[in-house]
Amino acid sequence: MEIRPTDLLSGYIHRLRYENLPKNVVESAKLFLLDYLASAMAGYKINRIFNDALWNVIGGMGGKKESRVFFHNIKLPAPNAALLNAATGHGADMDDGNRTAQGHPGVAVIPVALALAEAHRLSGREAITAIVVGYDIFVRLATAINPSHLSRGFHTTGTVGTIAAGGAAAKALNLDLAKTRNALGFATLQAAGLLEVAESGQMAKPLHPAKAALNGILAARLSEAGAEGPREPLEGRKGFIRAFTDHVDLDILLKDLGKDFRISACYVKLYPACRHTHAAIDAASNLRSGGLPSPALLEKVKVYVYPAAINLTGTIYEPKSEDEAKFSLAYTVATALTKGNFTLQDLDVARSFDPETRALVSKIEIVSDPLLESRAANIRGARVELVMKNGTTRQDEVKLPKGEPEVPVTFEDIEVKMASCAASVFPKDRLEAIAKTIKKLDRLQNISSLTKMLIL
């Protein structure tokens, strides 16, 4: 491989300065930071069994008090704080993502930037720059190696997330060029994450971004301490690219590096479920707004989605837990048809999986339609069709779910999301203060002005 991605990415990380960032990129970083915190507030409440287990293991280790663990009044070593904050951020499956990268950059990157910024008393601008670097590496590398990477069974959030976290950590620590390169090497050595977690044991899925965040900081600090890693971790004969994918598009990985910042191409999630369900939820909600016929009049509900959506969310029809509910296309669509939405409360299947919803689930037929996914045409959609017993039909098709760059949300929309996610976590005045602080993030001299607001 003549092109050396490791060198080019390392050079980009080392050279990038806050002053190089366009205003819209800075504003994107603020929006995704607010969204991450909203998602973490939801995750703190939702995935409690796993959260508590992880806290009991990691929190009891103690160590140097560097960075706050959100929603706890305690500081831990930066790697451990980042791990716990990343796990919480992914707990409700409401965190951001990128449809071509097929993973979640923010939850692997933002906890790293915040933990190191607090530990080293960095400014808001330094944190923003580290966040932008992490998103850029994640989206570029993950898009370049997919769909092969995903089809092999790897979870991009864990694998590429580790490398992105290493890049963000190197930027936050202001490593020189050689040490930045080494940090990427150490991060790449630790890349891991399997999609088997979407089949069973879904509560453990947050372990992927959690370990990505921890390992990213570990990688950068090992390099800072003088250790040396592999010279060609990405492109080497036994490196990441050859081990983790059948095909890589180096043009996607490297074109306009430092000019086209991919954070602006990411999406926000408005529903606490796998992203592959969201277009169908939107379509079902649209149908509900027009008035839902009595289930007794329905012959069937046909849900047309692309193959990847079926593979990840099309097998669970009767979820038994909140973790299964997030990955059940049938349940999320049936809920949206009955309620016009899908909310955190609907993850409590013991309460929300009522007779009306069950009746609709029994009528759902999931149909594969490859034409509903196309990079070239910017489509990743769904179509929901109501087939009546008298032969008439109603349908709604959504090409892209809400929250995509083409169907954008505003900072104010995320404030509304946070208010919904934060019920019983923070009072309204605290949420307003958090949002105001993030709006002026580029003017903060010390990131602790924000992080001190995130403890109970």
Task: Render 141-175 in DSSP notation, one character per residue.
Answer: HHHHHTTHHHHTTB-HHHHHHHHHHHHHHHHHTT-
pLDDT in single tens digits along all 456 residues of the chain: 578 999 999 999 999 999 999 999 999 999 999 999 999 999 998 889 999 999 999 998 999 999 999 999 999 999 999 999 999 999 999 999 999 999 999 999 999 999 999 999 999 999 999 999 999 999 999 999 999 999 999 999 999 999 999 999 999 999 999 999 999 999 999 999 999 998 889 899 999 999 999 999 999 999 999 999 999 999 999 999 999 999 999 999 999 999 999 999 999 999 999 999 999 999 999 999 988 888 888 999 999 999 999 999 999 999 999 889 999 999 999 999 999 999 999 999 999 999 999 999 999 999 999 999 987 778 899 999 999 999 999 999 999 999 999 999 999 999 999 999 998 899 999 999 999 999 999 999 999 999 999 998
The answer on 167 and 130 residing in a single domain is yes
The answer on 348 and 240 residing in a single domain is no
The answer on 306 and 180 residing in a single domain is no
Which residue from 288, 267, 235, 299 is spatially nearest to 406, judged by alpha carbons?
Answer: 267
CATH of the domain at 370: 3.30.1330.120
| Two structure tokens written together for 386 | 């109501």
The answer on 170 and 46 residing in a single domain is yes
The answer on 282 and 171 residing in a single domain is no
Query: Is residue 362 classed exposed, middle or buried when 0-12, 13-18 and 19+ CB atoms within 10 A define those classes?
Result: middle
The answer on 315 and 217 residing in a single domain is no
Residues in the chain, total = 456
Helix, strand, coil % in the chain, rounded to nearest 5? 60, 10, 35
The answer on 258 and 183 residing in a single domain is yes
The answer on 258 and 282 residing in a single domain is no
In whole angstroms, what separates CA 385 from the centre of its chain? 29
Q: What span, in angstroms and rounded, lies between the C-alpha atoms of 2 and 356? A: 60
384 within a domain of the structure (yes/no):
yes
The answer on 129 and 37 residing in a single domain is yes
The answer on 323 and 349 residing in a single domain is yes
Domain span including residue 224:
5-270+409-454
The answer on 263 and 136 residing in a single domain is yes
Q: What span, in angstroms and rounded, lies between the C-alpha atoms of 111 and 95? A: 12
Q: What span, in angstroms and rounded, lies between the C-alpha atoms of 56 and 52? A: 6
Amino acid code (one letter) for 203: M
The answer on 230 and 334 residing in a single domain is no
Contacts of 240 (CB under 8 A, 6+ apart): 163, 188, 191, 233, 234
| Two structure tokens written together for 449 | 């002005």
The total of structural domains in the chain comes to: 2
Which residue from 30, 451, 435 is spatially nearest to 263, judged by alpha carbons?
Answer: 30
404 within a domain of the structure (yes/no):
no
403 within a domain of the structure (yes/no):
no
CATH of the domain at 422: 1.10.4100.10
111 within a domain of the structure (yes/no):
yes
* Listed residues 369, 398, 427: the one ending a domain: 398
